[in-house]
Structure 1
Amino acid sequence: MNVLGTSNLTNGSVQSLNSLSQATSASPKTVAGIPAPTDRVSFSPLASALHDESLTAFNALSVETRSQLSSLVDSGALSGEDVHNALKQRTKEARLGAYAATFRMANNDNAGLFSSGSATTSDFRETLRAASEKRAGMMEKLSALLQSGQDGSDDYAALSDQLKALTPNARLLAGGSGVVNPFQPIDLGESRLMSTRGETDAVYKLKAAGVDLSAIDKALRPMGERDAASLVAERTGLPQTHTVSKDQEFSLDQALIQPITAPPSAAGAGSGTDGRVIDTDFLTNAGSAIGPLKGNAFGEDAEAARQYWRGLRANY
């Protein structure tokens, strides 16, 4: 039995390939002292490279996108590892977009907490629980529109914009007591949300090969929302619908955005326009770390780097 490619894979069939690889016997049975023939399973480079979240992501894609990725790997234009890394990065982008939007929605819907002198951690936990439930209902409607082929409709666009929650509540812009959502900061070492340079470079290879990243992002959005809700629940101590596994291949040394240790406040301090003391050395270090994309092919060309980054960001 030979499995030579994935061009005709249907949803879940790659999962079957994974199971088959474990079913090959190391010691064939014998009949009358003669070894019986053993099934040999030969995987394509793509099928053998996909695993964990990249495999889940691949199965969520359309037949057209899966076939295109398979053909690109079969032709040698991409490697199976390129597709694995790129799908991991898009999955993380989907999670990160939904995770950040959940906090924006929670903060917008409960702006009064930020000007309240009595807001508690429990209050913010409740806002995130309510926001996650609200988003789950909205995603059901969005997914139904997508599945019925109405993803180009005004209803789809309006619902998508609501989920982005990009317009801040005016009360948040007015300032408050300095209260912040205690659950919001993201650990740059969070392997389920943070991408590596290798993963990001792999996405650029897909883009350069003509793969429609927006089609991938649209297909992965429901999964990103589900995973983000689970991560919010995990962080706040709320009940979880499922667990999002850590990325065992993640290395902080290879992370796209590196953690920055702030120097002592006395070093390079300068006065801001509002009278606050600003550590200019820290701002310079921060800008050099997260401004240009680390590991990109454009060197010091800042505009090219910005275009590169915009092209890889998920259009959440």
Structure 2
Amino acid sequence: MKTLRTGLVAATASLAVLLAGCGGGGSAADRKTEDGLKVVTVAYTPIYSVGAIKLGMDQGFFEKQGLRVELKQVANPPSGIAAVAGDQVDFNYAPSIPFVNAIANGVKLEIVGAADGYDEGTKAAVAKDPSLALQHDDSGVVAAPGSDIHRAADLQGKTVSVPARGAQLEVTIAAAVAADGGDPSKIHWITLDFPSAVSSLKSGRVDAAGLVVPFISQAEKGGGKLVLSPGLQFFDDGAVGLWITSAALTQKDPKVVTAFQTAIQQSNEYAEAHITDAQKAAATVLKTDLATVEAGSKPAFPATVDPADVQSVIERMKQLGYLKKDVDAASLVYGN
């Protein structure tokens, strides 16, 4: 996809200005504090799962590995991918679908650890009781007030907004429509950011919107109706969001990458056992009230990434026509 590669180049150029002087660029081994810790920069999008890494920082897991983490917020996953690919940050949060898209377009990246996902048994529990979906899935499709959309197949022929074409929400929604007997190729996709999508639902500009929390509840307050939780239908139990780095850094500073990988695993294990503390940490990083964070889906933090989790995403993307080449997930997990 030429547009994706061009977009990554443009985003990298913008981020070079945004992150200049903030610790990005150069080798982590060359950036040391007075007490000898190596400074690593980590990009994240404003999502609740950032609580785990913040909690790990507070618990000292990174310092024990000789690292000091500097968190840098970026607008969206493609911006973060551009930042790590352009050597503006050392590590980045990326949902698995944008990560796979980037790999397929020649961006040299590797998976260092899990960022978020679903606990073992989540899909089975939701299958028995669909009302539990929003407790675990932070994404959803909300139909416009008074819409005749009641299930995934009803989206065929409708105008549906997503924040980016070919990315996480479009792919997962398309998969749900196909599984329900509909034809996702007949959906009229429109790109809107989440606030614009909520207002467009109210005005009738779109028939349905792919959203995440807290925008789902905002749309429901405006009369919209949640009809689908596509993430749970698409992904297996296990890792969904990933911590990634550039292949260049794994070659140049493997000790730094290994140290980060170890600290992330420890952070996730601790966060999984202290969910309330992870939510508090997320509220601190995102500068939002704790009640808003707690009202969202319950976070889950897998300790490690099973390549099978990512390979299942790759195969489903190929089946849906979003991926045209073979990608071997096992070769993309650092240290695997």
Whose RCO is larger (CA < 8 A, sep 6+)?
Answer: 2
So what's the TM-score if we normalise by structure 2? 0.29
Structure number having the greater helix percentage: 1
The structure with more strand, counted as a fraction of residues: 2
Which structure has the larger Rg? 1
The two structures have a TM-score, normalised by structure 1, of 0.30
